[in-house]
Amino acid sequence: MKLNFEVDGDEFILAGEASSQVKKILKQLGVSSEIIRRIAIAMYEAEINMVIHANGGKIEVEITPKKVYIVLKDTGPGIPDIDLAMQEGYSTASEEVRELGFGAGMGLPNMKKYSDDLKITSEVGKGTTVEITVYI
Amino acid sequence: MKLSEVKEILDAEVLVGEHNLDREVYLACGSDLMSDVLAFVKDKVLLLTGLVNPQVIRTAEMMDIKAIVFVRGKKPSEEILKLAEEKDMIILTTKYPLYISCGLLYSKGLTGQESKQEGGHET
């Protein structure tokens, strides 16, 4: 099964809608709640990042009986130093984003924690692609 | 602890889910940082927060958190409450601040303490 989502970068209120839909579909497919929660959290963190840093983007989700593979692509500013961005507590989020409860520098560490495989490719000025794999 | 007890201890008002107060919570997490909440995976968690925006509901949804207490008398907008209702959540609001709310629940037995690292925490 393949799902595609467009994430609007201007609507912080709507951020998480795609993750919410994927969660619902996985539940209907009978995937265990522990696995669903890991997928939902990793995807939600990535979706939020897409909204707060890159003005939205596109998400493709592939669901097979063995795994869920999520690709989030944006054309935002890119990440200059991925190793640094992976460190807990490191964040470049604005004060506005912090007031909304995010930007604590836990987004990428949380994605890594909850996915079986996390791949981030990024080019400054061109954008970032995040690939999340969780085995069912 | 039953949510009806939580309501009583915090002298809280129920904004969504009045008919579901017999549900139980085993642990609690008090935080205004949603990223921090997302690092805290446990079952049947009660979230206490002073942050009021739709992403609190979204965060709770991803975590399978079914009950949220907004502290310091904060009342979420209709839009937020509607989202919570769609997700079958219970929303309470209390006049006590976050620290006092957590302390009251803790002293009544909702310790949220499985281990020092992973137990209920406050930010």
- Closest CA–CA distance from residue A98 to any residue of chain B (Å): 8
pLDDT band at A99 (very low <50, low <70, confident <90, very high): confident
DSSP string covering chain B: -BHHHHHHHTT-EEEE-GGGTT-B--EEEE-S-HHHHTT---SSEEEEES--SHHHHHHHHHHT--EEEE-TT----HHHHHHHHHTT-EEEE-SS-HHHHHHHHHHTT----SSTTTS--B-
Find residues 46-75 of chain B whose CB sits inside 8 Å of chain A. 49, 51, 53-56, 58-59, 61-64
Q: Of A11 and B104, which is predicted with more confidence?
A: B104
Q: Taking the mean position of all CA atoms in its chain, how far away is CA B91?
A: 8
Check CB contact under 8 Å for B62 and A19: yes
| pLDDT for the residue numbered B113 | 61
Q: What pLDDT score does B114 carry? A: 58
pLDDT at position B118 is: 47
Mutate to test the interface with A, among B38, B43, B47, B66 (most CBs of A within 10 A): B38
Any idea where the domains of chain B sit in the sequence? 3-105
Contact B35/A15, CB-based, under 8 Å?
no
Find chain B residues with C-beta within 8 A of A33's C-beta: 64
pLDDT band with cut points at 50, 70 and 90 for residue A13: confident
Domains annotated for chain A, with CATH where assigned, are: 2-135 (3.30.565.10)
A106/B56 touch (CB, cutoff 8 Å), yes or no: no
Which pLDDT score, from 0 to 100, does residue A9 have? 86
Residues A78-86, mean pLDDT to the nearest whole number: 95
pLDDT by residue for chain B (123 residues), tens only, comes to 999 999 999 999 999 999 999 999 999 999 999 988 998 878 889 999 999 999 999 999 999 999 999 999 999 999 999 999 999 999 999 999 999 999 999 999 998 765 444 444 444
CB contact under 8 A, B34 and A102: yes
User: Regarding predicted confidence, which is higher, A100 or B116?
Assistant: A100
B87 in Cβ contact with B55 (< 8 Å): no
Q: Which fold, B3-105?
A: 3.40.1390
